[in-house]
Every structure is written in structure tokens, then in C-alpha cells.
Amino acid sequence: MNPHPSTEAQDRPARLTVGVVGAGRVGPALAAALQLAGHRPVAVSGVSDASVRRAAEMLPGVPLVTPGEVLARADLVLLTVPDDALADLVAGLVETGAVRPGQLLVHTSGRFGTAVLEPATRAGALPLALHPAMTFTGTSVDVQRLAGCPFGVTAPEELRMAAEALVIEMGGEPEWIAESARPLYHAALAIGANYLVTLVAQAMELLQKAGVQAPDRMLGPLLGAALDNALRSGDAALTGPVARGDAGTVAAHVAELRTHAPQALAGYLAMARTTADRALAHGLLKPELAEELLDVLAGPAPDSGTGPGARSAEQGSPDGPEGEQPEAADHPTGEPPATHPKGTDPTSAAGPTAPDGSDSPDDATPPDDPASPDHGPHGGGS
């Protein structure tokens, strides 16, 4: 059940035609959610096999067209491309006259507010930044996950109610984020979600090295309880040898990692130092125990095996023991990005999750025609 009170009729957006520029993991899911709310998806851009397949599965019957044609057909356009591609995309669409006055342009980047849409705003578009704080899979399960999903919302004051109403119609919960706070907001989500995946994957690899047959089953209950305790109690939920000041145990950890998993040592030391600082600040770590612990944590990093090449050779895939490679990095969403020449207008690229979300961007293709907004029509957005 939607936790929000019903939106007054005058505050709800009219039934809109919806277009998606970037058939990554995020755009089709949001368009499908808007369709459930009574809006009508009419066009989507996508070129890669993954994008075409995703669009067909999530938005059956919706034609795959160029980005320029998406804007020509839709009242509300979802610009679901990676953060770094967004400004060039907007500039290219404006330069080619694709943006229409009164058209709602919605981007899903966690990093940006509406300032990145300023060229389109000057052309008469209505700018909205709606960032779902969720990781996306590129399947229909994403639409279900939007129920109760928080969205970081930034919009001009006169469009605030419309922006929040769209989020509510998708099943989400709007959270107002000031324009100036967007980068900090997105950094927080990256720390909480993206780096959590890194930590969990690394922990599974180390358990596998230790001979544990099902590291995911061993970690599941522990991590579930730790997450619940952290959300409820914050730093008061800290446990373990660092919070207790068990310098001998931490020294043993460091020695084992240096010998058996040197690629994991730098991360362990960084997180342990941060944990010690927070435990000290909140009175959990006794000052008399902290000095020896911090001496252990100040030890040298491993001599080798920590560079990108060594990490990929020794550690394997960041996805865990199975060795599966993710589609892309960010907002959690997509295929690897392409590099676009200066002056071109990439309408899609790859990259959470946040946000996916951060974020969450998807695949990318180089532009076919730099003079038109039809250049590599897909991506994700987080």
C-alpha cells in the first residue's frame, strides 16, 4: 500500500506520453512503472543487443527509435544515461532543436540536480531530477522494487509538486534534495551501496580461500543482522576486534591478509582505521587500548599485488566467488562505456545505484552523426 496520502487531482500530472533516452536498467523500469500509473510509453532509444532485449521485455510494443524521435513523440522524456554523459546529451539535443517548450525532461542522475538541464530549460523544457535510491537488475523485478523506494528529488519550486507526484505514481517516496547537496547525497549512497557490494564480494572470496563451501550462506544471516543493527543504532552497533581494541587479533588479521590475500589488505586497513576513529569518538573503544591498535593499523601496506592489474589477476571478478563479471560499474547498471570525441553528443553510455543506485547507467555506443542527437541511443541512469 502506498504510504503517501492520495495526491489531489490538480497536483497530479496529466496522463502523459513517455519516452526513454537510454534503455539501460533504469529507464525501462521507470517507464513501466509510469505505465502502470496510467501514462503511455511511446518511444525508447536503444542500440545494443542488451538494450533492445530489455526494451522489448520491459516495454513490449513500444517502438525503438532515435533519441530525436523520442523527444518528438513524448511529453515526458526520461534521460537515463550515465552522469558523465548527461551534460553533452542535453547540449546536443538542444543544439539540434529536439527539445520542445513545455516538455518535461527528467534525468535520473544522483550526482546532478536541475542545473545540468539548464540549456534545455532555456529552450522551454521543464527540468526535473528524480533519482531512485535503488539498485536495478534490468528485469521486471525492478518495477516491484520501486514500491516504497526513496527518490532524491530536485526541481524548481513551481514544479516541486509535479515532481513529487510522479515519484508517488511510480510507487516511490520523494525526498527533497537541495541542488547544492546532490554530490554529497550521491557520495553517501555510493558509500552505503556500491562499496557494500565490494566488501561483501571480498569477504566471500576470503571465506572461499579459507575453505568455506558456501560463503554466501555463511555471510547472509550475519550481514542481515549487522545491517539491521546499523540502521537502527548507528555506531552503537559496532562490534568486533577493532571496536574492542583487540590489537593482537587485528595484527593476526593483517599478517594473514599480507600472506594470503595482499590485494585485500589496503581495504582492510582503511576500514579498520575508520572504524577505530568512529569507535573512539563514540566511546566504544577505550583510549588506553587504542594506541597499540593504531600502531598495528599504521603498518606498511603490501609491497605488491595492490595495483589494478594485480587485483584483476589475483582477486578475479569483483562479483564474488563465481567469477561473474557485472555489466558495468555505478547507480549498478549496464554495459561498458564508450569514449566519445569532443563535440559529439552521446545519448547513452555505461557506468548505481546507486544508484544506484546509485546509479546506474548502462551501455554506450559512439555517435553515428555528431550533428544530430541520434548518436548512440541508450544507457541507464543512476
Q: Of 188, 186, 226, 234, nearest to 86 (Cα)?
A: 186
How does DSSP assign 122-134, residue by residue? HTT-EEEEEEE-S
Q: Kindly report the CA angle at 350 between 346 and 351, in degrees rounded to 5?
A: 130
Question: What pLDDT is attached to residue 189?
Answer: 96
Question: What pLDDT is attached to residue 342?
Answer: 34
Q: How far apart are CA 123 and CA 125, in angstroms?
A: 6
Q: Please give the radius of gyration of the chain, using alpha carbons only, rounded to the nearest integer.
A: 23
Q: How far apart are CA 326 and CA 201, in angstroms?
A: 12
The string of pLDDT tens digits covering residues 186-214 is: 999 999 999 999 999 999 999 999 999 99
Four-CA torsion 358, 151, 52, 48, nearest 10 degrees: -30
The CA–CA distances, whole Å, from 210 to 120, 197, 239, 302, 324 equal: 55, 20, 22, 20, 20
Residue 287 banded pLDDT, cuts 50, 70, 90? very high
The string of pLDDT tens digits covering residues 178-190 is: 999 999 999 999 9
Residue 21 pLDDT exceeds 60: yes
Please give the residue that has the higher pLDDT: either 247 or 2.
247
Cell of 285: 573503544
Q: How far apart are CA 161 and CA 13, in angstroms?
A: 9
> How are beta strands 126-132 and 150-154 bridged, if at all?
antiparallel
Give me the count of residues in the chain.
382
Q: How far apart are CA 338 and CA 87, in angstroms?
A: 16
**109-147 burial string, b = 16+ CB within 10 Å, else e?**
bbbbbbebbebbbebebbbbbbbbbbbbebeeebbebbe
Q: E strand or H helix at 296, and its extent?
A: helix 287-297
Q: What's the whole-number mean pLDDT along residues 158-167?
A: 97
Q: Is there a contact between 96 and 371 (Cβ–Cβ < 8 Å)?
A: yes
Question: What pLDDT is attached to residue 348?
Answer: 36
Question: What pLDDT is attached to residue 301?
Answer: 54
Q: What's the whole-number mean pLDDT along residues 106-114?
A: 97
Mean pLDDT value across the chain:
81
Question: What pLDDT is attached to residue 300?
Answer: 63
| 21: helix, strand or coil | strand
Question: What pLDDT is attached to residue 369?
Answer: 33
Return the number of other C-beta atoms located less than 10 Å from residue 149's C-beta: 18
Q: Is there a contact between 155 and 121 (Cβ–Cβ < 8 Å)?
A: no
Q: How far apart are CA 139 and CA 137, in angstroms?
A: 5
Instruction: Find all residues with CB under 8 Å of 263, minimum gap 6, and list them.
Output: 302, 305, 306, 310, 311, 314, 315
Residue 101 banded pLDDT, cuts 50, 70, 90? very high
Question: What pLDDT is attached to residue 14?
Answer: 73
Q: Of 97, 114, 98, 96, nearest to 106 (Cα)?
A: 114
How far does the chain reach from its first CA to its final CA, in angstroms?
A: 26
What is the DSSP code (8-state) at residue 5? P
Please give the residue that has the higher pLDDT: either 48 or 3.
48
Q: Is there a contact between 116 and 127 (Cβ–Cβ < 8 Å)?
A: no
Residue 217 pLDDT exceeds 60: yes
The string of pLDDT tens digits covering residues 346-355 is: 333 333 334 4
Q: Kindly report the CA angle at 344 between 341 and 345, in degrees rounded to 5?
A: 130
Question: What pLDDT is attached to residue 367?
Answer: 34
Question: What pLDDT is attached to residue 308?
Answer: 37
Question: What pLDDT is attached to residue 48?
Answer: 86
Residue 171 pLDDT exceeds 60: yes
Residue 13 banded pLDDT, cuts 50, 70, 90? low
Cell of 233: 543504532
